């Protein structure tokens, strides 16, 4: 199997493209950042789609997301990640950017997108190198996975960030 190593664009502290790139897995040079994108996909029952990552990744539960490839914008990147990881076609107009931030220690900008959509998870085509299975879960179930140490730590922080954002908007999640 011929593995293609993805390139990622580098940004300065003001989120301006530097014109430089790194390959996936390379260390981010000092004073540079990459973009991370995550999605919160919710159905009309109020459940959220989470995925169980493959054992070669780490076997933890997580949100669907990743890194835009070189040349992709954040929104293009999340659409690509959703299609690649779980086989769901998403139009960028279906997504709402609910949070954008910067993490200096990790050298990342991160964008969190929200999608409200009903679909049958049995119709999805999962990227087996990345995802073992997906499931619809309540916020309480996701919190339990986090408390049990079964959820990817970085994504756990974003789950709680999302809960707070929805509370501020007056959206009841539990």
What pLDDT score was predicted for residue 166?
Answer: 86
7 assigned to some structural domain: no
At 172, list the tokens. Answer: 């009841």
List of long-range contacts for 159-165, beta carbons under 8 Å, 24+ apart: 159/63, 161/99, 161/112, 162/40, 162/98, 162/99, 162/112, 162/114, 163/139, 165/98, 165/99
Instruction: Please state whether the predicted TM-score (pTM) of the whole model is above 0.85.
Output: yes
How far is residue 86's CA from residue 8's CA, in Å, rounded to a whole number? 21
pLDDT tens for 111-152 read: 999 999 999 999 999 999 999 999 999 999 999 999 999 999
93 located within any domain: yes
The pLDDT value given to residue 172: 65
> What does each C-alpha distance from 166 to 117, 161, 174 come to in angstroms?
17, 9, 11
Please give the structure tokens belonging to residue 40: 């919160």
Task: Quote the pLDDT of residue 26.
Answer: 94
Instruction: Identify the pLDDT of residue 120.
Output: 97
What is the residue range of 71's domain?
A: 29-168
Is there a domain that residue 159 lies in?
yes
pLDDT tens digits along 43-69: 999 999 999 999 999 999 999 999 999
pLDDT of residue 3: 55
Q: Is the pLDDT of residue 2 over 80?
A: no
Q: Is residue 23 in a domain?
A: no
20 within domain boundaries = no
CATH number of the domain within which 98 lies: 3.90.79.10
* Band of residue 169 on the pLDDT scale cut at 50, 70, 90: confident
> Of 103, 98, 105, 116, nearest to 159 (Cα)?
98
- Residue 174, pLDDT score: 63
Q: Is residue 13 part of a domain?
A: no
Total domain count, the chain: 1
* Region 31-48 average pLDDT: 96
Average pLDDT of the chain, as a whole number? 94
Six-digit token string for 86 = 């779980």
What does the DSSP 8-state code read for residue 59?
Answer: S
**Could you tell me the sign of the dihedral formed by the alpha carbons of 104, 109, 111, 112, in that order?**
negative
Record the tokens describing residue 144, joined without a space. Answer: 């339990």
Under the banding of pLDDT at 50, 70 and 90, the label for residue 5 is confident
**Residue 66 resides in a domain:** yes
* pLDDT above 60 for 90: yes
| Residue 1 confidence (pLDDT) | 43
**Is the pLDDT reported for residue 170 higher than 80?**
no
Distance of CA 82 to the CA centre of its chain: 8
Note whether residue 59 is domain-resident.
yes
Number of H helices, E strands in the chain: 3, 9
């Amino acid at each position: 199997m011929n593995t293609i190593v993805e390139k990622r664009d580098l940004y300065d502290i003001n989120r301006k493209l530097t014109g430089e790139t790194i390959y996936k897995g390379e260390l981010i040079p000092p004073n540079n950042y990459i973009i991370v994108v995550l999605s919160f996909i919710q159905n009309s029952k109020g459940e959220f789609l989470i995925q169980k990552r493959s054992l070669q990744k780490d076997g933890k539960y997580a949100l669907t997301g990743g890194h835009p490839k070189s040349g992709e914008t954040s929104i293009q990147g999340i659409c690509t990640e959703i299609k690649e990881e779980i086989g769901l076609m998403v139009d960028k107009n279906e997504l709402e950017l609910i949070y954008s931030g910067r993490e200096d220690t990790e050298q990342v900008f991160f964008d969190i997108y929200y999608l409200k959509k009903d679909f049958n998870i049995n119709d999805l085509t999962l990227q087996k190198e990345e995802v073992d299975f997906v499931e619809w879960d309540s916020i309480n179930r996701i919190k339990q996975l986090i408390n049990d140490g079964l959820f990817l730590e970085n994504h756990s922080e974003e789950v709680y960030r999302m809960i707070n954002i929805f509370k501020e908007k007056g959206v009841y999640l539990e």
